[in-house]
Structure 1
Amino acid sequence: MLNPHFSIILITYNEQIHLPATLDAVAGLGAPLFILDSGSTDDTIKIAEDHGATVAQNMFVNHPQQWHHALSTFKIDTPWVICLDADQQVTPELFELLRTFNDTDHKDTNGIYFNRKNYFKGRWIKHGGYFPFYLLKMFRTDVGYSDLNEMMDHRFIVPGKTEIWKKGYLKEENLKENEINFWLEKHLRYSDQVAYEEVERMRGARSQTIEPRFWGSPDERTAWLKRLWWKMPRYSRSLIYFSYRFLFKLGFLDGRTGVIFHFLQGFWFRLIVDVKIDELLKKAKDDRQQV
């Protein structure tokens, strides 16, 4: 019997290394499965179909647009939907919360935040502001939507009341990132999108969908911090942010692997973004002078 309360959607691309464990972790929930793939060449599709998932294909542009396509394309008959990345596993504690979930117990709620444990090279990144970390992953069908004002840092938005589940976790571990070249190449691609997006924000061509509020929901707080970030001076802000994560948020307690992660994600990546922002601004200035 299919779960009458919620369905599960994933987006994938060559995820045979993650998909079996991710789908096995939710198999006992009986939820309808939907997978939007972007041209996988490994066994991703076979694994999805073996687990009874409905599979569709769409060319990948960025995460917000891919999620928008998934939510707009699949016919979801349940009142709720859960959106997971292929490397996000439902832990036993979260499984129990979902197993006993009943729509009638959440009539006034439109969205639910899950807590996340993030792993890098096999180590749980517990400090540096990475735990607890709440992600809006479950929301009412046709109420929640993908924020298309973001190019890389995707999130879902719901109007109205939300809940935060502090117990039970998503375990997020991208095993492909155990090879540092994969991590670096991925974040170099991401830096192109983040730099382009920030330049658009400087020009007023892009705005925040979520109202920034320091004391608001997890996403409203993130929006407030992003607005502060965009006002900070380039180049120095990456060092300030890394120092904040490493010292004030105790990132140094995550051990050698954690230090590597905080340095790469908190400093190196953001420094690269600032360099690319200046390159884009210089190119635009040169183009104007040539006209």
Structure 2
Amino acid sequence: MSNTIAALILTYNEEKHIKRCISSLKGVCDEIFVVDSFSKDNTVKIAEGLGATVIQNPWKNYATQFNFGLHNCGIKSDWVWRIDADEFLEGEIGHSVKDAIASCSDDVNGIYVRKRIDFMGRPLLHGGWYPSYHLKVFRRGHGDCENRWMDEHIRLYDGRSVTVESGNQVDANLNDLTWWTEKHNGYATREMADMLMMEYGLDAKSQEVEPKFFGTEEQRKRWLKIRYIKTPLFVRPFINFTLRYIVKGGFLDGREGFIWHILQGFWYRMLVDAKIYELKKRFGWDKEKIKNYLQETYLS
């Protein structure tokens, strides 16, 4: 078996980030593929100039775009590394993953790496955000991205996974708060649809991560999300903020942490609930009408 790795990056107007991302992959990934959603800035030019192979495809959602790239980029490497354009590899994570691939048995098809979020230039090390482990590297042909509108994870078809402890895959977006809030407004719409599809049984459970509290990080998050959905509207954002900011020590990340938890842990979650309430009210709380709307808008 070869130990080669291909990076798969999705982009749209990522000229601020793409050089940093690709540069961090040098010496780690043997192939670098970018699936671009017809960027209007210099993303494609920069990526190609750094040696990446770029293909373009219209955007629907993250899952469909990632799986399009997985099956249409002509990947030759045996392993695929999922990394976003505003992320980069830090420390010894790349070499540790390569060592894990070189020494793992044939039944290992996935590798968990440690992820860190930097917000307004500050690493978020509390509030349950770090350390956080995500399945980012998987053996080609043994996994893909589950088809969801939000919180999509890599799922393995078979085999088992191992965890790499050194280094970080860092999420550090360089855009301002105006961009951030506009982006999360869009996320809130997708989250609204995703949560309602889970509530009404429209999600493809057989093709998604299995919810387990004592499972992998993705399985635990999915289990918790199902419980979160059952919590009353407008109450759960308060609970989420209290748990992350106070109980789990988010306040230890200073002013940047305070802003993050207010915006991401409360405002964003409240916006999702408001959009759920708005949609249900629009259809008179009629479940069948809501389900029909979701099927026509998001599943057709």
Count residues with an aligned counterpart: 283
1:154 aligns with 2:169: no
Question: Identity, % of aligned pairs?
Answer: 35
Q: Distance in 2 between matches of 1:198 and 1:108?
A: 34
Q: Distance in 1 between matches of 2:52 and 2:119?
A: 28
Mark the CA change 1:31 to 1:101 in structure 2 (over 3 Å): closer, same or farther.
Answer: farther
Mark the CA change 1:30 to 1:120 in structure 2 (over 3 Å): closer, same or farther.
Answer: closer
The 5-angstrom pairing of residues 103-252 of structure 1 reads 103=102, 105-148=104-147, 150-158=148-156, 159-176=158-175, 179-208=176-205, 209-252=208-251
SS, match of residue 15 in structure 1: coil
Question: CA deviation digits over 1:177-235, x for unaligned, max 9?
Answer: xx211111111111111112222222221244221111111111111111111111111
- Kindly provide the amino acid, as one letter, of the partner of residue 251 in structure 2: F
Q: Distance in 1 between matches of 2:46 and 2:68?
A: 22
Q: Distance in 1 between matches of 2:63 and 2:222?
A: 16
Contact 2:91 2:166 in 1 (8 A): no
Contact 1:11 1:36 in 2 (8 A): yes
**Residue 20 of structure 1: aligned partner:** 19
Can you give the 5+ residue segments of structure 1 that lack an aligned partner in the other structure?
A: none
**Residue 67 of structure 1: aligned partner:** 66
TM-score (norm 1): 0.92
Q: Distance in 2 between matches of 1:122 and 1:144?
A: 33
- Kindly provide the amino acid, as one letter, of the partner of residue 53 in structure 2: T
Q: Distance in 2 between matches of 1:167 and 1:100?
A: 11
Name the Cα RMSD after superposition: 1.7
1:29 Cα deviation from its structure 2 partner? 2.6
Contact 2:97 2:164 in 1 (8 A): no
1:108 Cα deviation from its structure 2 partner? 2.0
Can you give the 5+ residue segments of structure 2 that lack an aligned partner in the other structure?
A: 290-300
- Kindly provide the amino acid, as one letter, of the partner of residue 170 in structure 1: Q
**Residue 30 of structure 2: aligned partner:** 31
Contact 1:196 1:280 in 2 (8 A): no
SS, match of residue 116 in structure 1: strand
Contact 1:79 1:103 in 2 (8 A): no
1:96 Cα deviation from its structure 2 partner? 2.3
Q: Distance in 2 between matches of 1:153 and 1:85?
A: 14
Moved more, 232-241 or 63-72: 63-72
Contact 1:199 1:281 in 2 (8 A): no
TM-score (norm 2): 0.90
1:11 Cα deviation from its structure 2 partner? 0.7
1:100 Cα deviation from its structure 2 partner? 3.6
SS, match of residue 184 in structure 2: helix
1:131 Cα deviation from its structure 2 partner? 0.3
- Kindly provide the amino acid, as one letter, of the partner of residue 93 in structure 2: L
